[in-house]
Amino acid sequence: MDATRADILAVVVNRDSSFDEIDTTLIALLQQTNNLRYAHDMRQVDQALLQQQTPTVILLTDEAMTRANNTSTWERVLEYVRQGGTVIAMGRFSSFVKPNDIKPFFQRAGLDWDRGTYHRTTLELNRGAIDEEIARELLPRYSQKALQLKNVRPEDMWYKSTEASVIESAVFAPESAHDPGLTAVALAKVGKGRIGYVGDVNAEQGSDAVVLAMCKQAMN
């Protein structure tokens, strides 16, 4: 395997999530510089973790891993993370996950992350949380409709609201969306590895850049 290319496993179990249709730009970008393969059930995830060469990154593109009947696989994935792997919840994860499943899911990883607000607003890059080389590949700010998380440590927030952030709606008058305790983009250390979250539901260009950057960081 080319050591310069990350081996990325995209977990796509919920066919209703339309990952292959909505995230076509991201998929093409990932394939340009990485080896991208798919797991369509938990058995295939388990098999990938048993290989001598485990994936560099596992993308959770939908909510399947949060289901109670998949807890045993999630525990195996977490062991992979603790040994140095990277997992990113992204794509349609935030659209399909049940609100009450978010906290216990991340708690198993030792994270306090929980469901925050859901709306469109503009978030700004938190340069203090990101290596300068990685930050250069990200948009300084961008608008996204996203399920944000609360209880994320400031140093794990890749993007955050500012005093200028407002709820962006075509129907209602703008109101402040500034909350320092919320983020739609996070990456936290868990053991020797990392767990990331991208709450954008619309596959924005800025979010594509985030996923690519998190995959690149996993190579370091």
Residues 155-203 pLDDT 10s: 999 999 999 999 998 777 788 899 999 999 999 999 999 999 999 999 9
- Give the pLDDT confidence score for residue 170 in this predicted structure: 78
Return d(Cα 166, Cα 200) in angstroms, integer: 16
Q: Is the pLDDT of residue 3 over 80?
A: no
Q: Are strands 34-39 and 57-60 parallel, antiparallel or unpaired?
A: unpaired
Percent of the chain with pLDDT over 70: 99
Q: What are phi and psi of 38, to 5 degrees?
A: -120, 150
Instruction: Please tell me the distance from the alpha carbon of residue 117 to that of residue 183, in angstroms, as a whole number.
Output: 9
- pLDDT at residue 213 in the model: 97
Position 150 scores a pLDDT of 98
Interatomic CA distance for residues 165 and 143, integer angstroms: 9
Give the single-character DSSP code of 173.
Answer: P
What are the sequence ranges of the domains in the chain?
6-218
Phi, psi of 34 (to 5 degrees): -140, 170
Alpha carbon distances (Å) from 27 to 2, 104, 112, 185, 204: 19, 29, 30, 19, 13
Alpha-carbon distance of 22 to 9, in angstroms, equals 18
| Average pLDDT value over all residues in the chain | 96
Domain 6-218: assigned CATH number: 3.40.50.880
Note the pLDDT tens digit of each residue in 10-28.
999 998 878 989 999 999 9
pTM summary value: 0.96
Whole-number pLDDT of residue 220: 83
Give the distance, in angstroms, between the CA of residue 17 and the centroid of all CA atoms in the same chain. Answer: 15
Q: How confident is the model at residue 1 (pLDDT cuts 50, 70, 90)?
A: low
Note the pLDDT of residue 172.
73
pLDDT in tens, 30-83: 999 999 999 999 999 999 999 999 999 999 999 999 999 999 999 999 999 999
**Backbone φ, ψ for residue 9 (5° rounding):** -110, 115
